[in-house]
Chain A
Amino acid sequence: MADTHAVATGHSTDHSPHLRHHFDDMDQQFDSATFGMWVFLLTEIMFFGGMFGAYTVYRNMYPEAFASTSAYMNPLYGALNTAVLIVSSLSMALAVRAAHLGQQKALQICLLITMFFGICFLVIKGFEYHEHWVDMKVPLFGGHWNYSEAPQFAHQAQILFCFYFFMTGFHAVHMLVGLGIMTTIFMMARKGTFSPTYYTPVEVSGLYWHFVDIVWIFLFPLLYLIGHTRHLV
């Protein structure tokens, strides 16, 4: 009967205003939210996985053309952005820790740092896109396209550039969504919503942020580095 007792009194012992009516207690609510985010990230893996799969197929079909497009990319931009995202992940991890410990000031500062580096990433990416545009590397409607670097691959490289724009573009959209989430979390933090007993939104949006960063960790070598190793040898 111990169980019965616990269940029957579940609501009365836990007065947190953040407990939604259909959960028994805060632990169950926290577990459900984090588990839900993990399942969501699984769907995100499959979403990007579709693009990574198609990328793999084409890379197998046209390895030479792929090396030439990758050699065109400027790895400095890619490396810089990798560093920027890793730092933003660190500050995100610290934000979650601060929320867990109830350090309101540190939480807000860490969130601001995370958002700052997120914006940095997008700005750098924007410069890079602009460079591609100037270089005639945006094959919309088969136009705005010049591949004098390796004219024998002009057609195939067009496909690979499309993949580059898809993959980094969808990634950038995820960054934008992430920035929107971080802004919301920051506003909530300023209002003092979070406490050591309730910081679920910080935790789950942290998971999302780290996921978006990890996608980039895969994109960077696949899109920027493959061609360059070839030149070093």
Chain B
Amino acid sequence: MSTVLQDPQTTETPNYLNAEYGWKSWLLTTDHKRIALLYLISISVMFALGGVFAMLIRVELLTPEGDLVNSDTYNKLFTMHGVVMVFFFLVPSIPATLGNFLIPMMIGAKDLAFPRINLLSWYIYVAGALFAIAAIVMGGVDTGWTFYTPFSSTYSNTFVITAAVGVFISGFSSITTGLNFIVTIHKMRAPGMTWGRLPLFVWANYATSLIQVLGTPVVAITLALLALERGFHIGIFDPAIGGDPILFQHMFWFYSHPAVYIMILPGMGVISEVVPCFSRKGIFGYSFIAASSLGIAIVGFLVWGHHLFVTGMSMYAGLYFSLLSMLVAVPSAIKVFNWTATMYRGSISYATPMLYAFGFIGLFTIGGLTGLFLATLGVDVHLTDTYFVIAHFHYVMVGGMVVAYLGGLHFWWPKITGRMYPEGWGKFSALLVFVGFNVTFFPQFITGYLGQPRRYHAYAPEFQVLNVMSTAGASILALGYIIPLIYFIWSLRYGKPAGNNPWGATGLEWTTQSPPTTFNFDVTPIVTEEAYAYAKHEEAHVG
């Protein structure tokens, strides 16, 4: 712990941040750590944009009448909230930032296998995001983020093609990132870093990469078909000449259901790192957690049909998809039980990342269990297209992924910047996020169960109290996001120097200096112990 107390006035050691200066050194960098920061900035911008749409939705829903915006504008608001948040924030969120920064360091490599492709992926992402922003500026899209045909292909009068092209392009950024991770994890591990010693964050991102590589091309071709259909009226999804609009839904969800696991698995990886560190214990059930990541990735490809229970799909297909959807609960529960067992009899400390981890475990459990309600055929008929679905999805995506993302940012911020964030403010905003999130979305379970349909700008007056709660909660949640933004920027200059390993964590990334040098390690490290050998280190410390 002596490193924490070092003199803050020491001259700056060479690191990846001060290795080169000037905008060219950033925009043409091939350093995975700098690219991670480029991603961090760009996805934060998109997150803010998507958040603005969310706030407009919540303000509209303060009153039962549609008074702030008309129904067409409201359709555009929820569509653009969905498109921006799903494709431009959640999918790249943890892999492109923390994953990009940490995976090479965690496995003892100097960089990802293809550094130039890594930079290219950021440019592809930016190009896709510009198309999405262009669609928004020109007048928006109103199809819902799922672009269902035949509305999107024939009837909508909005900028569907521009938005679809944006999503299509950004998909290739996701594919190239996944490809880079897979090759890096296979080929670039340091001596002694066996598959059984890989940090679980790496395992989770490996499973994520598999989905990115196998799923994203399918949504790419689906959106290409949609854009061509809309552009040239060729009839592929047009029932008027025998085309099948439901085929679009099948093809879309073949990617987009696995994609929700792209949006949660890396979060699970973060939690698997944070929990043992602040419990001072080795992870419980290492191989089970690692295997369950792969299990979720594999089973996740077989359950897309549960989005189509009420679209007139065959009943037998419904049974099959219902059963397999329930199976996803098994690997998910394995993780939750193992994190809990890791904490059992550990010496737990309540630093900010751990608070986020607590939040994640609770909120993800609620989100996951309500997913079982929706996987049940009969119940789903009642709950389809209600706010129950919205609440379920946000418990997993916001309560799960965004919370894990914030937890991970706090956990590795000292490594990324070499500075500590203010712990008190950190704890305070973690609490705000947790409270604000629950106040926002828990009422939506109730209104949804009572039958409030989603995607309408007006609603029955009896739902007003719960909707006002929801909007109030969203304001608290927004504050919980703004405070970290402010103190993270503040800490870049005024934060306490962090030292190499402020948490006393295991893992190769903590053996380097903070911030790391351009090539991460001066000498390629040799791994001689399992991941999360906290017990051993604690003994050594006490002894």
Contact = CB atoms under 8 A, between A and B. Distances in A.
B15 to A, nearest CB: 17
A159 B179 CA distance: 34
Interface stretch (A39-47, A100-108, A116-124, A211-219): A39-47
B235 A51 contact: no
Contacts of B251: 50, 53-54
Contact of B214 (A7, A43, A62): A43
Contact of A36 (B114, B214, B232): B114
Given A50-B222, A61-B244, A162 B217 contact: no
Contact of B187 (A28, A54, A62): A28
B242 interface: yes
B294 interface: no
B363 to A, nearest CB: 32
B536 interface: no
Given A3-B526, A21-B519, A22-B115, A46 B110 contact: no
B234 A50 contact: no
A222 to B, nearest CB: 16
A42 B519 contact: no
B113 A36 contact: yes
Given A21-B110, A156-B242, A47 B179 contact: no
B242 A51 contact: no
A32 B214 contact: no
B226 to A, nearest CB: 12
Contacts of A40: 179
A57 to B, nearest CB: 6
Contacts of A139: 234-235
A123 to B, nearest CB: 25
B528 to A, nearest CB: 10
Interface in B170-224: 175, 179-180, 182-184, 186-188, 191-192, 213-218, 220-222
B471 to A, nearest CB: 40
Contacts of A44: 217
Contacts of B187: 28, 31-32, 35
A160 B454 CA distance: 37
A5 B243 CA distance: 65
Contact of A54 (B214, B215, B235, B236): B236
A166 B228 CA distance: 9
Contact of B236 (A23, A62, A155, A159): A159
Nearest to B213: A43
A8 B190 CA distance: 12
A140 interface: yes
Interface residues of A, number: 43
A54 B180 CA distance: 29
A166 to B, nearest CB: 7
Contact of A166 (B186, B188, B225): B225
Contact of B524 (A24, A32, A42): A24
Contact of B241 (A28, A32, A42, A158): A158
Contacts of A162: 234-236
Contacts of B191: 3, 7
Contact of B235 (A3, A62, A158): A158
B218 to A, nearest CB: 4
B247 interface: yes
Contacts of B113: 22, 32, 36
Contacts of A148: none
A196 interface: no
A12 interface: no
A180 interface: no
Nearest to B186: A35
B410 to A, nearest CB: 28
Contacts of B217: 43-44, 46-47, 49-50
A65 to B, nearest CB: 8
Contacts of B114: 32, 36
Interface in A95-146: 139-142
Contacts of B175: 43
A7 B523 CA distance: 8
Contacts of A77: none
B522 to A, nearest CB: 11
B186 A159 contact: no
A22 B232 contact: no
A4 interface: yes
B242 A32 contact: no
> Which of A21, A43, A57, A61: most chain B CB closer than 10 A?
A43
Given A49-B217, A140-B234, A155-B235, 10 more contacts: A3-B191, A3-B526, A22-B112, A23-B188, A28-B187, A36-B183, A42-B213, A46-B215, A50-B217, A61-B242
18 contacts: A20-B115, A22-B109, A22-B112, A28-B187, A32-B184, A32-B187, A32-B188, A35-B186, A36-B183, A39-B213, A62-B242, A139-B235, A142-B233, A156-B241, A158-B241, A159-B236, A162-B236, A163-B236
